[in-house]
Structure 1
Amino acid sequence: MAKLWGGRFSKNTNELVDAFNASIDFDKRLYHEDIRGSIAHAGMLAKCGIIPAEDGEKIIAGLKDILADIEAGNFHFDVTLEDIHMNVEARLTERIGSAGARLHTARSRNDQVALDMHMYMKREVAEIAELLLKFEEALLTVAKKHEKTLMPGYTHLQRAQPITFAHHMLAYFNMLQRDFRRLLGVWEGADMMPLGAGAIAGTTFPIDRFMVAEELNFGTVYPNSMDAVSDRDYIIEFLSFASTLMMHMSRLSEEICLWSSTEFGFVELDDAFATGSSMMPQKKNPDISELVRGKTGRVYGHLMAMLTTAKGLPLTYNKDLQEDKEGFFDAIDTVKFTLAVYRDMILTMTVNVDKMAQAVSKDFSNATDLADYLVRKGLPFRQAHEVVGKCVAYAIHQGKFLPEISLEEYKQFSDLFESDLLVALKPEHCVEARKSYGGPAFSENEKQFAIGDKVLAVQQAKLEELQSKL
């Protein structure tokens, strides 16, 4: 098939060049944005008197028919036509004749693909925002269910202080709040309309870029034509958001892998979200968590690849920028899968309350509270720390935990110890005593639940606002 740009050339391109140059295998997913953008462009050309109104009507009707064919699976994408733009334009001209050849007036594939990517980004941001919101809701639901479920908190993967499972889930809830905020920033970066920038220097035709922007629900228009066609900041911003989100999901995945092990036994995944072994019949593997943990590195790679691609490019468009799509598309698919599957996995997961409570009562995570007990009796914290350290060493030597040591034994380390120390050592007391803002106290959890509900309401309103601007 003749190239739409072939007038300058006397030879057909080599088949390998066609295959290497083509992007249709992956950019065909932009078909909806490409056709919608072309409809807006054709309408503007007709209204501005750049093409006949009759031709504008034919173009728009033809594009709508092509959209219906693609969605019905009745459209053949031709690799020799390189990309989604030329596939659509060639089929349009084939159907409606010379009117179709007017569609590309006053635009280049450079600003056309930029438009498609901006529109696609906005649609995907809205979809990801909805999935993110639903996962946040799931975390808050689980947290509320386990407001008083005690568990060990860890530093250095060593038991540190008693907390609640609710407090642990709220930590991830807070991480995702920040991810939602970052995602809104991605939308802002994508909400700029590049069409009308042409290949590099705009056009000599009297176009109305703001008319197209309004038709396509863009908040603003690129003020510089060179920046419009070469900007990929919004893709880098998305990949940065995706990398941070996946890092958070990977941390949660690591904990679920640990918690679901026999050694911990804190949670059990629903059978629908676990797999077995082809050899070992007893196995129940947390494959979803392992895959999310593994795919995180893949998303990081897409960010590094895009940064590397863009770092040495002179203005404006270079074919290198075709590499902006595959990693971007894959990151979108990975993020959407992760959020969707994790929501249901978390909601169906069984939390072994008794196992967690048993764990937190058979360790030395109440040692800090014993030091605080001495501080309240008047001992400076550093001295209290040393006294309790000696108590812990003594308990370990005796094969006991702190609540199992008698008051007489404690007295040999400090006369400040009294019978009320046993209350201070109870895990539930250790948790409830930590009422500082952001702490794990049961009463503090209640406050954080209320704040979480408000956050979700604000995010829901913002999501609806984004959806209204698509």
Structure 2
Amino acid sequence: MRTVTADHDKFRDTVKPWYSLFGMSAADVYKEFPETMWDVFGDSLETLRNKGYTLIYVYQFCKDREPSQNRWSTDADFDTAFAESIAFDKNLYKYAILGSKTNVDKIMNGGAISACERDKIIHCLESIENDIELGKYEWKDGVDIYSNIVEALADKFVGGIPKDLVITNKHDSCLLILEMWCKSYIDQISTHMKQLQVALVLFALRIDCLVHCGRRQVRNNTFLESLVLPSLKTLEHDASDLRAFLGIIYSSSDGVICLRNRFPEEISLSKRSTIADLARSINYCIPDHLIQILKKVISLSHLMSVRPQGEAAMDWEMLQKFSNDEHMREREHRHLALSKCLNIGVGELTRDGEIQDAKYHLFSSVKFVLEMINMYIQCVENMTIDLKKVQIPHPRGYDYVMGFAHFLTSKGIALETAYAVVHLCLEKRCQPSKLTLEELARIDFPCERAHVLLHDKEKVFYKFTRQDLDSCKKLIKWCCKLRIGPETIFERNTIYF
């Protein structure tokens, strides 16, 4: 391998995102990793307005949803009784405080207060939150929770609080609390989904994708093709939808968002209708997708001797109950109640019972979703295989692939670049020492170190079959997207480079 020249480094003028190191276009990212699109362009609706082809993605997101979900509202207010129920619900104090902190940041960014004043206000808000948690806070009767907190802040903060921090409209207070609640739980669910994706990838690598359903090797009969990859893609789409909900709900606009750019018709995105869509996703889509994944685990468990161990065993009866017809009707009733409370449904004025149903539908089901995902993580992490009952035709060599990636990261090569080197070798079906300096420069590999790190790497990879090659490339991309360090797999092996 030749030494590097200045010309070879001209490709490394900027640090590239991980997907571009794999030669992926925006269309490729949308197709394979739709959730990553929100990392590419950001969550804010201001970004969506300013980037035309991002709007294509948002447009597709809107078109893909069920017709019953596309109920765009032009009314700016919630149902009054529901708005007051949210605004005066002391159980939601954390989101009122979080909203206060968010507003303080906006005020500081607008130049009305200094960073020092902002820090002092945040400290006072945290002190108020601590008093509430300890039961030492005295709520003022007849005052909504946000105003309670702002008045307490005014008593604590010397010099007076910014007037822009005050919200007197109950509908605005309700929207602020719901925005903060949505953001908090979208973040939590997305984080847990990513943890489940990591567990699935590690499971596939742990068993080296060697398990087959029959004696003859055919396509799609491994855990990777039949369970892991479809499950990863399902979770990816759900996470992408959550990010889309977040972008709409947490945008700077208070009313209906209209996107006209590059479309023949107008797309109207209301925060309140999007909150209803989020509730439907949490109550219907995500649990149903998780149950479908579980059914795959159970079918493969029976066929291929996969066994969840100990406390990680799934409570199948509980999940069956969650998906039965009676529970589905109950969820639909509560969703209709929420639609009325958000003022996007048609019907008479809400009753107290409907308000409680709406709040239960919105606030309580998310805990069940988080419990489901945690159960899945434990199940996947504790799966074992009875090797006596499965066919292992030949080792695929994933250990060697991950071992070489670990060798590179242990020498200071960035994780994304290390995986990109491996992917490029698999793509070209060549050994690392055969890569050219131009190819290495395009994936941000430090060409000045190429001779030292790659010159004697002639027999790194096994001779993969085409199916093994495709599967390995898919796994490498997922490892990079999820930032799974190669040492996670490599530590249990004795392969050295």
Number of equivalent positions: 305
Cα 1:21–1:340, aligned 2, differ >3 Å: closer, same or farther? closer
**1:246 is the counterpart of 2:287:** yes
The CA distance in 1 between the partners of 2:337 and 2:479, in whole Å, is 34
The CA distance in 2 between the partners of 1:450 and 1:131, in whole Å, is 25
Q: Aligned match of 1:347 in 378, 381, 395? A: 381
The CA distance in 2 between the partners of 1:179 and 1:322, in whole Å, is 27
Contact 1:58 1:99 in 2 (8 A): no
Q: Aligned match of 1:271 in 307, 310, 326? A: 310
The CA distance in 2 between the partners of 1:312 and 1:446, in whole Å, is 51
- Residues 192-248 of structure 1, C-alpha deviations (whole Å, 9 max, x = no match): 1356x8xx9xxxxxxxxxxxxxxxxxxxxxxxxxx99x7313322323433322212
Alignment of 1:59-458 (within 5 A): 62-70=124-132, 73-76=134-137, 78=139, 80-81=141-142, 83-92=144-153, 99=160, 105=166, 107-144=168-205, 145-151=207-213, 163-169=221-227, 170-194=229-253, 231-242=271-282, 243-257=284-298, 266-274=305-313, 286-287=314-315, 289-295=316-322, 301=332, 303=335, 305-307=337-339, 309-310=341-342, 311-312=344-345, 325-355=359-389, 443-458=466-481
Give the AA of the match of 1:236. Answer: A
Contact 1:147 1:445 in 2 (8 A): no
- The answer to which structure, 1 or 2, has the higher relative contact order (CA under 8 A, 6+ apart) is 2
Q: Which residue of 1 aligns with 2:66?
A: none
Cα 1:192–1:304, aligned 2, differ >3 Å: closer, same or farther? same
Cα 1:445–1:23, aligned 2, differ >3 Å: closer, same or farther? farther
Cα 1:328–1:82, aligned 2, differ >3 Å: closer, same or farther? farther
The CA distance in 2 between the partners of 1:40 and 1:75, in whole Å, is 27
3-state DSSP class of the match of 1:112? helix
Give the AA of the match of 1:270. Answer: Q
Contact 2:139 2:148 in 1 (8 A): yes
3-state DSSP class of the match of 1:193? coil
- Give, in angstroms, the shift of residue 268 of structure 1: 1.7
Normalized against structure 1, the TM-score is what?
Answer: 0.51
Q: Which residue of 2 aligns with 1:220?
A: none
- Give, in angstroms, the shift of residue 103 of structure 1: 6.5
Q: Which residue of 1 aligns with 2:100?
A: 35
3-state DSSP class of the match of 2:210? coil
Give the AA of the match of 1:30. Answer: Y
Cα 1:21–1:180, aligned 2, differ >3 Å: closer, same or farther? closer
Bigger radius of gyration: 1
- Give, in angstroms, the shift of residue 41 of structure 1: 6.6
Give the AA of the match of 1:331. Answer: S
3-state DSSP class of the match of 2:209? coil
- Give, in angstroms, the shift of residue 292 of structure 1: 4.0
Normalized against structure 2, the TM-score is what?
Answer: 0.49
Cα 1:104–1:291, aligned 2, differ >3 Å: closer, same or farther? same
3-state DSSP class of the match of 1:192? coil
Give the AA of the match of 2:309. Answer: D
Q: Which residue of 2 aligns with 1:385?
A: none
The CA distance in 2 between the partners of 1:98 and 1:349, in whole Å, is 60
Cα 1:341–1:304, aligned 2, differ >3 Å: closer, same or farther? farther
Contact 2:147 2:166 in 1 (8 A): no
The CA distance in 2 between the partners of 1:442 and 1:325, in whole Å, is 54
Cα 1:32–1:192, aligned 2, differ >3 Å: closer, same or farther? same
The CA distance in 2 between the partners of 1:351 and 1:32, in whole Å, is 48
The CA distance in 2 between the partners of 1:191 and 1:356, in whole Å, is 49
The CA distance in 1 between the partners of 2:145 and 2:209, in whole Å, is 52
The CA distance in 2 between the partners of 1:61 and 1:89, in whole Å, is 13
Contact 2:95 2:180 in 1 (8 A): no
Contact 1:118 1:191 in 2 (8 A): yes
- Give, in angstroms, the shift of residue 93 of structure 1: 5.2
Contact 1:22 1:79 in 2 (8 A): no
The CA distance in 2 between the partners of 1:189 and 1:454, in whole Å, is 29
Cα 1:459–1:162, aligned 2, differ >3 Å: closer, same or farther? closer
Unpaired runs of 5+ residues, structure 2, are 1-81, 257-267, 393-463, 485-497
- Give, in angstroms, the shift of residue 271 of structure 1: 0.8
The CA distance in 2 between the partners of 1:136 and 1:293, in whole Å, is 23
The CA distance in 2 between the partners of 1:61 and 1:107, in whole Å, is 23
- Residues 418-469 of structure 1, C-alpha deviations (whole Å, 9 max, x = no match): xxxxxxxxxxxxxxxxxxxxxxx974254134224324534669xxxxxxxx
3-state DSSP class of the match of 2:213? strand
Provide the alpha-carbon RMSD of the alignment.
Answer: 4.9
The CA distance in 2 between the partners of 1:165 and 1:352, in whole Å, is 14
- Give, in angstroms, the shift of residue 325 of structure 1: 4.6
3-state DSSP class of the match of 2:221? strand
The CA distance in 2 between the partners of 1:181 and 1:56, in whole Å, is 33
The CA distance in 2 between the partners of 1:21 and 1:234, in whole Å, is 17
Contact 2:339 2:345 in 1 (8 A): no
The CA distance in 2 between the partners of 1:104 and 1:60, in whole Å, is 12
The CA distance in 2 between the partners of 1:148 and 1:104, in whole Å, is 59
Contact 1:27 1:83 in 2 (8 A): no
Contact 1:143 1:167 in 2 (8 A): no
- Give, in angstroms, the shift of residue 176 of structure 1: 1.8
- Give, in angstroms, the shift of residue 348 of structure 1: 0.5
The CA distance in 2 between the partners of 1:84 and 1:312, in whole Å, is 27
Contact 2:93 2:145 in 1 (8 A): yes
The CA distance in 1 between the partners of 2:181 and 2:110, in whole Å, is 23
Q: Which residue of 2 aligns with 1:207?
A: none
Contact 1:78 1:87 in 2 (8 A): yes
- Residues 82-116 of structure 1, C-alpha deviations (whole Å, 9 max, x = no match): 75314323534565699579576465232233233
The CA distance in 2 between the partners of 1:129 and 1:21, in whole Å, is 25
